[in-house]
A and B are shown apart, each in its own frame.
Chain A
């Protein structure tokens, strides 16, 4: 149990286009989902925390109009990179916490590699 999927796993797009990444909890309900960004050989950086049915909470320095997050159900959160530019190229990873579970455990998706040309 506790499987998280992401789609697509890899996407290449032209500069100026928008890209949507989906994060799904396949076998559990996730009240909270997190979006991270990872640069090559660097740590995961938290971008935002998404709670089902409410607005996402963005970390300092993350543009909420640039990175739109929607958490419409207990099993799906989406991250849309709007008007993508080459500097947005990165590895985006989501994670999910079970509803009402103690211990802070997060279950991670396999990540989505975005390349903006």
Chain B
């Protein structure tokens, strides 16, 4: 079946540090891949997405590249800010479907 595995948190970084949150997936076919972010007290928001192999999604300084060969979609940011503190969810949806399968979420805490 389809699944998403992401690194456990919490991840604690100092401001301006480099961020990587690992995400791998299992799927039949070629799913679309997503990163969602959940700020405290708010609903999930789409951060970025990629719909085919080698696509790079980017938004707000975050990037992730769809790697078919390693079935990965790792999230990166070169310099994190305190305002990036949130829970980050990696997700996939099979081709032709809208339903999402989520990873367990990774809490990021950025300290000033």
Contact = CB atoms under 8 A, between A and B. Distances in A.
B46 interface: yes
B98 A43 contact: no
Secondary structure class of chain A's binding surface, majority of residues: strand
A46 B46 contact: no
A43 B103 contact: yes
A104 B105 CA distance: 20
B43 A43 contact: no
Contacts, number: 53
**Chain A interface bracket (under 10, 10 to 19, 20 to 34, 35 or more):** 20 to 34
Contacts of A111: 43
Given A4-B43, A104-B93, A43 B102 contact: yes
Interface string B76-95: 00000000000001000100
Given A43-B103, A43-B104, A108 B44 contact: yes
Interface in A41-56: 41-46, 49
Interface of B: 4, 32, 36, 41-46, 49, 51, 89, 93, 97-105
